[in-house]
């Protein structure tokens, strides 16, 4: 991890040096453009006033051509500056990740759902969540897809197909993780903003906007063939008149008059077509530019894994249409001020070119929904690959195709703690129940969350923190973070009952892993114990494997009352001068509790403090 951080910092420093050079060039281009434009105007004035007119006219033409070339070059340089700034910001965000600061990443707060079978309990969304650690998406479609992968409740359709699909996704992620420059450039392709949500390319409505542009009606006289011929004739005549004027065959006023004719023609003939095109495309520009950049980056890579090659082929089919759209937008951008309209229409009849190219683009076939779907999948895969890249100590889980529940984890660690966590095994047998006892803060809840979030990551196609994890596609349901809802008049106990009712409602033939932390906290000890026993007995009659953390040591009696399917495990503590926590799960029932000890210690400390104050 240290090596990765050093590499990111070195790359950022190099990019900042390159950015300073680009900014220096931009200042020079600005001064040169102003000087060349003013000089060209001076030569035009001299051509009208002094002799030899042809020499002054030639000088003016050369200067105007130089101005146009500088303007185009400056535009490219400005886009390089913008791209460099976004890339530096992407690197700086990754550096923040290694310093434990996730605030610059998307929290996914809008995906928080307390009624979901497991996402709320396992901190999948919200501040410092798994989503915030993983998500690097730059499109709304990719963001939604990543959230869907993380919240998948069970395997879709055929179990073998699901496992094969995850295997293909894993290979795609591993390959992408080796393409570091590609990953960083894709992550820098969103909108430029410090806020994660504002960086997203709104692919959720881009397909509709592109389809609407495709259907825009323009006057019949704007046929591409007619516009091409008319523009070619007018430009040929104009440049012939310039050459003739420079050689003295015709007066200088002729090319000037011809250029004026270009302006009139460009204004009158297309009518308001250019304005309508600009209005239609103005909201598409920044989004399609980012999308086009992602596509060009993808097509420039050499991939070998099936998923990546399929995405690449899909994007290649649609790339030409989007690239042509980008060229039209660049032409619009070039003529987007008075000087641009004047010069580009006099020397290139750019308005006719824009209308013609737009009509040709409309005539091309393009499946924008397929395009955006492919970009969304790639975008979500980039997030998974970035996590793999940033967390090299993780391991790929192994899936087995079996109708029973399999979960065998060796040295599992919670991903939020990484290698700092104490590793524990989780060898769960199908339709068995594991009752875990232990003192407060001994590690019970963290263990439950580790098992749950490891399942989530494996099902999403992410590597996990473990020496080994073997599992089968099954359903997960958790009950760990119940709270009251005073707004809707729901007490804590009622909220617990509703959660357990929700669990009962999903039980069917699908093997289900259930994780419960302290059942029925909202009632008295005797009622809680009896209710918990009844509920676990009910679950044991279904296709359920369960882990239950509890402070009720009496609940452990179920291991003796119900034979081999119930097992007791615990997190033990050592009490001496201080309490020692080893955070390791062991077989058996917890013997030591810490609540009384800690309260006595707290009261003694407070009493001692008060006595000292009294003496003073």
Among 81-90, 107-116, 177-186, 365-374, the minimum mean pLDDT is found in 365-374
Residue 126: which region, alpha, beta or left (left: phi > 0; alpha: psi -120 to 50)? Answer: left
**Who wins on pLDDT, 266 or 400?**
400
* Highest-confidence segment of 221-235, 270-284, 287-301, 422-436: 422-436
Task: Quote the radius of gyration of the chain (alpha carbons, Å).
Answer: 34
Listed range (249-253, 416-420, 474-478) with the worst mean pLDDT: 249-253
Report pTM.
Answer: 0.84
DSSP state of 491: -
In three-state secondary structure terms, 185 is: helix
Confidence of residue 177 (pLDDT cuts 50, 70, 90): very high
**How many other CB atoms sit within 10 Å of the CB of residue 505?**
8
Q: What is the pLDDT of residues 563-576, one digit of tens each?
A: 789 999 999 877 76
Asked if pLDDT for residue 418 goes beyond 80, the answer is: yes
What residue segments make up the domains of the chain, in order of their start?
1-101, 114-198+381-389, 398-615
pLDDT of 391: 95
- Mean pLDDT to the nearest integer, 121-130: 96
pLDDT at 584: 93
CA 69, chain centre distance (Å): 38
Joined together, the tokens standing for residue 233 give 């004739």
For 291-322, the pLDDT digits (tens) are: 888 999 999 999 999 999 999 999 988 777 77
Give the DSSP letter string of 393-417: T-B--EE---SS--EEEEEE--TTT
- Count CA within 13 A, CB hemisphere, residue 510: 20
Express each pLDDT in 190-205 by its tens digit. Answer: 877 777 777 888 887 8
Give, rounded to a whole angstrom, the gap between the first and last alpha carbons of the chain: 53
* pLDDT at residue 484, rounded to an integer: 43
Confidence of residue 328 (pLDDT cuts 50, 70, 90): confident
Q: For domain 398-615, which CATH number applies: 3.30.1330.60, 2.70.70.10, 3.40.50.970, 3.40.50.300?
A: 3.40.50.300
Return the minimum-mean-pLDDT range out of 36-40, 176-180, 519-523.
519-523
Query: Looking at residue 483, what is its pLDDT?
Result: 55
Distance, in Å, from the CA atom of 174 to the CA atom of 159, rounded to the nearest integer, reads 23
CA distances 559 to 126, 432, 495, 563, Å, are 38, 10, 28, 6
Place 469 in a pLDDT band, splitting at 50, 70 and 90. Answer: very high
- As a whole number of angstroms, the distance between CA 166 and CA 458 comes to 9
Domains 1-101 and 398-615 share a fold: no
For 536-565, b/e burial (b = at least 16 CB within 10 A) is beebbebbbbbbbbbbbbbbbbbbeeeeee
Q: Which of 83-92, 240-249, 279-288, 567-576 shows the lowest mean pLDDT across its residues?
A: 279-288
Lowest mean pLDDT among 21-35, 339-353, 376-390, 487-501: 487-501
In this prediction, residue 487 has a pLDDT band, given cuts at 50, 70 and 90, of: very low
Which residues have a Cβ under 8 Å from the Cβ of 456 and sit 6 or more positions away?
Answer: 118, 122, 124, 130, 150, 476
How far is it, in rounded angstroms, from Cα 305 to Cα 385?
14
High-pLDDT (> 90) share of the chain, % = 49
pLDDT at 288: 76
CA–CA distance, 185 with 138 (Å, rounded to integer) = 11
The length of the chain is 616
CATH number for domain 1-101, candidates 3.40.50, 1.10.10, 1.10.287, 3.30.420: 1.10.287
pLDDT band, very low/low/confident/very high, at 595 (cuts 50, 70, 90) = low
Q: Which of 544, 413, 403 is nearest to 473 (CA)?
A: 403
Cβ atoms of 450 and 412 within 8 Å: the answer is yes
Q: Which two tokens stand for residue 524?
A: 């008295």
Burial class (CB in 10 A: 0-12, 13-18, 19+), 365: exposed
Rounded to the nearest integer, the mean pLDDT of the chain is 87
Give the closest residue to 395 by CA, choosing from 454, 447, 453, 474: 454
Q: Is the dihedral of CA 101, 106, 112, 117 positive or negative?
A: negative
Alpha carbon distance 195, 88 (integer Å): 15
Decide if 427 contacts 488 (C-beta within 8 A): no
- Is residue 251 over pLDDT 70? yes
pLDDT for 343: 77
Cβ proximity of 549 and 434 under 8 Å: no
């Amino acid at each position: 991890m240290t090596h990765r951080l050093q590499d990111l910092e070195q790359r950022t420093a190099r990019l900042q040096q390159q950015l300073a050079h680009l900014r220096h060039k931009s200042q020079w281009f600005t001064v040169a453009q102003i000087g060349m434009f003013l000089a060209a105007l001076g030569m035009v004035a001299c051509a009208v006033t002094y002799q030899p007119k042809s020499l002054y006219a030639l000088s003016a033409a050369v200067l105007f051509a130089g101005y146009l070339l500088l303007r185009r070059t400056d535009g490219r340089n400005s886009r390089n500056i913008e791209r460099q700034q976004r890339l530096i910001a992407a690197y700086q965000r990754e550096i923040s990740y290694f310093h434990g600061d996730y605030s610059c990443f998307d929290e996914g707060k809008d995906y928080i759902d307390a009624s979901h079978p497991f996402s709320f309990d396992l901190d999948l969304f919200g501040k410092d969540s798994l989503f915030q650690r993983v998500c690097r998406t730059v499109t709304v479609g990719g963001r939604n897809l990543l959230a869907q992968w993380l919240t998948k409740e069970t395997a879709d359709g055929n179990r073998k197909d699901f496992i094969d699909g995850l295997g293909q996704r894993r290979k795609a992620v591993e390959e992408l993780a080796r393409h570091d420059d590609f990953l960083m450039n894709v992550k820098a392709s969103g909108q430029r903003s410090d806020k994660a949500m504002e960086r997203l390319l709104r692919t959720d409505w881009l397909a509709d906007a592109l389809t609407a542009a495709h259907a825009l009606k323009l006057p019949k006289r704007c046929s591409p063939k007619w516009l091409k011929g008319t523009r070619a004739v007018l430009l040929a005549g104009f440049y012939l008149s310039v050459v003739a004027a420079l050689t003295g065959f015709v007066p200088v006023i002729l090319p000037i008059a011809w250029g004026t004719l270009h302006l009139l023609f460009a204004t009158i003939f297309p009518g308001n077509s250019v304005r309508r095109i600009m209005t239609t495309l103005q909201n598409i520009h920044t989004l399609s530019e980012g999308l086009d950049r992602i596509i060009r980056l993808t097509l420039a890579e050499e991939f070998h894994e099936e998923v990546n090659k399929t995405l690449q082929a899909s994007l290649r089919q649609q790339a030409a249409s989007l690239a042509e759209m980008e060229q039209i937008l660049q032409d619009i951008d070039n003529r987007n001020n008075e000087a641009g309209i004047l010069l580009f229409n006099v020397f290139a009849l750019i308005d006719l070119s824009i209308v013609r190219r737009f009509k040709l683009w409309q005539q091309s076939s393009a499946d924008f929904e397929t395009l955006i779907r492919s970009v969304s999948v790639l975008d979500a895969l980039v997030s998974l690959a970035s996590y793999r890249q940033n967390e090299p100590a993780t391991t790929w889980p192994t899936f087995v195709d079996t109708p029973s529940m399999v979960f065998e984890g060796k040295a599992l660690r919670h991903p939020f703690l990484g290698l700092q966590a104490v590793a524990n095994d989780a060898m769960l047998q199908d339709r068995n129940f594991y009752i875990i006892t232990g003192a407060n803060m001994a590690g019970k809840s963290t263990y439950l969350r580790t098992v749950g979030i490891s399942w989530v990551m494996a099902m999403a196609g992410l590597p996990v923190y473990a020496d080994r994890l073997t599992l089968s596609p099954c359903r997960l349901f958790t009950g760990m973070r119940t709270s009251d809802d005073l707004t809707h008049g729901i007490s804590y106990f009622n909220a617990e009952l509703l959660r357990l009712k929700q669990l009962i409602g999903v039980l069917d033939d699908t093997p289900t892993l259930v994780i419960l932390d302290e059942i029925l906290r909202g009632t008295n000890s005797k009622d809680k114990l009896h209710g918990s026993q009844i509920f676990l007995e009910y679950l044991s009659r279904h296709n359920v494997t369960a882990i239950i953390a509890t402070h009720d040591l009496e609940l452990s009696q179920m291991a003796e009352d119900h034979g081999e399917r119930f097992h007791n495990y615990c997190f033990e503590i050592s009490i001496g001068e201080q309490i020692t926590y080893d955070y390791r799960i062991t077989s058996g029932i917890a013997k030591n509790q810490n609540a009384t000890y800690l309260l006595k210690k707290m009261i003694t400390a407070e009493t001692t403090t008060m006595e000292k104050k009294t003496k003073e």
